[in-house]
Amino acid sequence: MKIMVVGGGGREHAIIKKLLENKTVEKIYCLPGNGGISRDAECVPISSTDIPAIVDFAAKTKIDYAVVAQDDPLILGCVDELNKIGIPCFGPDKKAAIIEGSKVFSKDFMKRHGIPTAAYEVFDDPKKALEYLKTAPIPTVVKADGPALGKGALVCMTREEAVSAVREIMEDKKFGKSGDRVVIEEFMEGPEVSVLTFSDGDTVIPMVSSTDHKRALTGDLGLNTGGMGTVAPSPYYTKEAENAALEKIILPTVSAMKAEGRPFHGCLYFGLMITKDGPKVVEYNCRFGDPETQVVLPLLKSDLLSIMLATTNGGLDKVPVEFSDGAACCVIMASKGYPEKYEKGFEITIPDEISQSVYVAGAKLENGKLLTSGGRVLGATAVAKDLKTAIDKAYKLCERISFDNAYYRTDIGKKALAALEKEV
Ligand code: AMP
Ligand code: GLY
């Protein structure tokens, strides 16, 4: 089988490594991929948002199955265009991808179906939004409606910050047209848990839970990033939280999407906050999370390709989806200064015997050398029988990888471990 993966980060690398475990996979192309991925797949320099070029490549290369892993192409309708030329895909069509593509859609959808989430208001006029903020409860969260590279949600601890957020998003158009509308929502408190699920439109199967670390620096300091590390399973996703999430959030979401004529095929990501009133939805994503995938897929014992094909064709209830009982930890090694200013172009050294545990996100290949080319450079994942061992092993991997100006947090999983120890 010839497979095409659309995207080019650590998540895509983790997906590719897992797919390669299936012996029917002859070849994987990755568009555009990166220097690290090119060791496992043929990287093709086509941008993940250039839908006509992706479709053209898929037709010429006679691709059997496409995995559209990244949010932008999904929201733009990449799956719809590939389906039109007869190529089956993993991932939702445009109609279903709107669950991530529009915050206004997702909030209204949850309200229509009684799915627990933060209370909110929607504005398309900055004057009205600013007027509302005069008396709105503070802290609050201001969110651009459309996609904004994961940076469109601004948690505002003061009224002044909220006013600036509305100005930046709606008047200065920091995120372009994505800021034509904003959602202003209630601030929620509690630990965050990511629950990725497989869905074929009817059946939904949750994967092992995980917890991201969004702040750049050790001690949860610094700016928000795309994610500096993850652990799975999340100790905050207790049996009680899991049962409530399934009954009140996960199952109703998938059946309501179908009832609204938007059956969801692919990976539906539930960003949950475990509040004192139970789990509530922070966000939906229409794809695997990054870096959650780098801990979730290494724990998957079943065959990923068979599961993916079932999400596309139906019959997910008949395919085994089993996770190991152990734990995983992924530590992201970044370029010092990320997410602001950082230098790149430094050579990366990864010993061969650990390369299977490394998912490369920001690197390019030049004259046979792997050089840093992004803020988040790679993730090192370790799997073990328990969380503590997984964390220790992941940090041992990091010590064996080197590049100039490397930075990584030294406390990935620390809070999770403390929470786990408190439970026992
Ligand atoms: P989002 O892009 O909606 O996932 O938001 C990004 C991050 O902002 C989340 O992972 C949370 O840490 C935070 N956040 C978003 N919405 C809320 C909320 N209503 N209350 C508290 N924090 C939030
Ligand atoms: N880790 C958050 C995301 O993938 O959106």
DSSP 275-336: ETTEEEEEEEESS--TTTHHHHGGGB-S-HHHHHHHHHHS-GGGS---B-SSEEEEEEEEET
Q: Which ligand is nearest to the CA of 288?
A: 2
CA of 9 to the centre of ligand 2 (A): 12
pLDDT of residue 423: 73
Distance CA 312, CA 26 (A): 20
pLDDT by residue for the chain (424 residues), tens digit each? 999 999 999 999 999 999 999 999 999 999 999 999 999 999 999 999 999 999 999 999 999 999 999 999 999 999 999 999 999 999 999 999 999 999 999 999 999 999 999 999 999 999 999 999 999 999 999 999 999 887 899 999 999 999 999 999 999 999 999 999 999 999 999 999 999 999 999 999 999 999 999 999 999 999 888 899 999 999 999 999 999 999 999 999 999 999 999 999 999 999 999 999 999 999 999 999 999 999 999 999 999 999 999 999 999 999 999 999 999 999 999 999 999 999 999 999 999 999 999 999 999 999 999 999 999 999 999 999 999 999 999 999 999 999 999 999 999 999 999 998 887 6
pLDDT of residue 422: 83
Region at 181 (left for phi over 0; alpha for psi -120 to 50; beta for the rest): beta
Residues counted in the chain: 424
> Nearest 5 degrees, angle CA 285-CA 290-CA 266?
45
100 lines ligand 2 (CB under 6 A): no
- What CATH number should be reported for the domain whose range is 125-180? 3.30.1490
* Ligand 1 atom 19 nearest Cα: 187
Judged by DSSP in three states, 177 sits in helix
153 lines ligand 1 (CB under 6 A): yes
pLDDT of residue 178: 96
* Max Cα–Cα distance, the chain, nearest Å: 61
pLDDT of residue 237: 97
At 395, list the tokens.
Answer: 């940090």
Judged by DSSP in three states, 199 sits in strand
String of DSSP letters for 244-262: HHIIIIIHHHHHHHHHTT-
CA of 153 to the centre of ligand 1 (A): 6
pLDDT of residue 224: 85
Distance CA 288, CA 202 (A): 19
Query: 269 pairs with which residues across the strands?
Result: 196, 285
Contacts of residue 258, Cβ cutoff 8 Å, sequence gap at least 6 = 201, 202, 264
Q: Among 102, 121, 141, 286, name the best residue to mutate to test ligand 1's pocket (greatest count of ligand atoms within 8 A of Cβ).
A: 141
63 lines ligand 1 (CB under 6 A): no
CA of 297 to the centre of ligand 2 (A): 15
At 85, list the tokens.
Answer: 């030329």
Judged by DSSP in three states, 209 sits in coil
pLDDT of residue 421: 86
Distance CA 337, CA 40 (A): 29
Residue with token string 């006679």: 62
Global model pTM greater than 0.85: yes
CA of 73 to the centre of ligand 1 (A): 23
Q: Residue 245 — φ and ψ, nearest 5°?
A: -65, -40
Given CA atoms 253, 258, 259, 260 in this order, what sign does their dihedral have?
Answer: positive
Its CATH class, for the domain covering 327-423, is alpha beta
185 lines ligand 1 (CB under 6 A): yes
271 lines ligand 1 (CB under 6 A): yes
Q: What are the CB-based long-range contacts (under 8 Å, 24+) for 148-156?
A: 148/174, 148/175, 148/178, 148/179, 150/226, 151/175, 151/224, 152/103, 152/178, 152/179, 153/283, 155/187
Q: Which ligand is nearest to the CA of 272?
A: 1
* Ligand 2 atom 5 nearest Cα: 289
Give the residue among 46, 196, 92 at the shortest CA–CA distance from 63.
46
187 lines ligand 1 (CB under 6 A): yes
Cα within 13 Å of Cα(23), Cβ side: 0
71 lines ligand 2 (CB under 6 A): no
CATH 3.60.21.10 for domain 194-318, yes or no, is no
118 lines ligand 1 (CB under 6 A): yes
Tally helices (H) and strands (E) across the chain. Answer: 14, 23
For the chain, report the end-to-end CA distance as a whole number of angstroms. Answer: 46
pLDDT of residue 149: 80
Counting beta carbons within 10 angstroms of the beta carbon of residue 343, is it exposed (0 to 12), middle (13 to 18) or buried (19 or more)?
Answer: exposed
C-alpha to C-alpha distances, 60 to 38, 64, 105, 317, nearest whole angstrom: 20, 11, 36, 34
271 lines ligand 2 (CB under 6 A): no
Distance CA 364, CA 129 (A): 43
- What CATH number should be reported for the domain whose range is 2-91? 3.40.50.20
CA of 381 to the centre of ligand 2 (A): 17
At 220, list the tokens.
Answer: 């949860």
Domain chopping of the chain, boundaries: 2-91, 125-180, 194-318, 327-423
283 lines ligand 2 (CB under 6 A): no
